[in-house]
Amino acid sequence: MTQVIEQLKNKALVWQGNQFAATTDYLTSGYQALDSALGGGLPAKGVIDVRTMMGIGELRLLLPYLACASSKAAVVFIAPPSLMSAESLASAGVDIKQVVVLSADGDDALWCAEQCLKSGSCASVVLWHQQFEIHQIRRLNLACEQGEASLFIMRSLQPNTVSLPVTLTLSLAPTTIGINVSIDKRKAGAPVAQFSVDMTEFWPEFAIEDNIASTDAERIAVHRTSNVVPFIEFKRRA
């Protein structure tokens, strides 16, 4: 049994509970609720698996982190599903002089991500890609370590997927004040059940303001005819 566990550890498929507990190698996410749940912030290096519906504000959730990263080195977006808005990035504090957008796909996208990560000139890479093999994640993790960079994998929610040896796994869902986040897996601690990240401080125009309705469904019903755009309905914007 011990030999099996050692083999799994060597393949980065399991970790000891306290192996990374003391690490402070993180950057703030910009959101107090998320930073608190993560014990400080998002990892400054390693592979971060983000499972989400597209167009619910998933990129906006990462923008404060990417703004911080862009002050250190380049931030690379690979195969985004829609056009990137330089104005939106700049307004969120991202240094657009440090931004690179690549339109690769398939194996080419993975190759680009690996080269960027291990180059030492990139602080963070955001990659839209759906399917990964364990050996690919291991290569990307190694590239993150070599270049001291982070990689965000943006992919849709998929049931019964293989558990990947990533640094952190987040599942996202829309809510009327921002995004609900579940921490499904992380090296530095136990999973955390779904909690809400309030994004109205940064984007108040996307929130449904109501002091009477108590549930998401009620707030949406109350404001169906309002000129306030419900965050949950806002699609395909950076």
pLDDT in tens, 69-104: 999 999 999 999 989 999 999 999 999 999 999 999
Q: Is residue 15 part of a domain?
A: no
Q: Is residue 79 part of a domain?
A: yes
> What is the 8-class DSSP label of residue 156?
-
Residue 103 structure tokens = 């339109």
Confidence of residue 7 (pLDDT cuts 50, 70, 90): low
The CA distance from 19 to 26, in Å, is 16
Domain range holding 63? 25-200
> What is the tens place of the pLDDT at every residue in 216-231?
454 444 444 444 334 3
Q: How many independent structural domains does the chain possess?
A: 1
The CA distance from 149 to 169, in Å, is 17
Confidence of residue 147 (pLDDT cuts 50, 70, 90): very high
Confidence of residue 158 (pLDDT cuts 50, 70, 90): confident
Q: Is residue 67 part of a domain?
A: yes
Residues 6+ apart with CB under 8 A from 212: 222
Chain centroid offset of residue 20 CA = 20
Q: Is residue 133 part of a domain?
A: yes
Query: pLDDT: is 194 or 22 the higher one?
Result: 194
Q: DSSP characters for 93-120?
A: T--GGGEEEE---HHHHHHHHHHHHHTS
**C-beta separation of 144 from 150 below 8 A:** yes
| Angle at the Cα of 16 from the Cα atoms of 14 and 20, rounded to 5 degrees | 105
Q: Is residue 216 part of a domain?
A: no
Q: Is residue 217 part of a domain?
A: no
Q: What is the CATH number for 165?
A: 3.40.50.300
Q: Is residue 123 part of a domain?
A: yes
Q: Is residue 4 part of a domain?
A: no
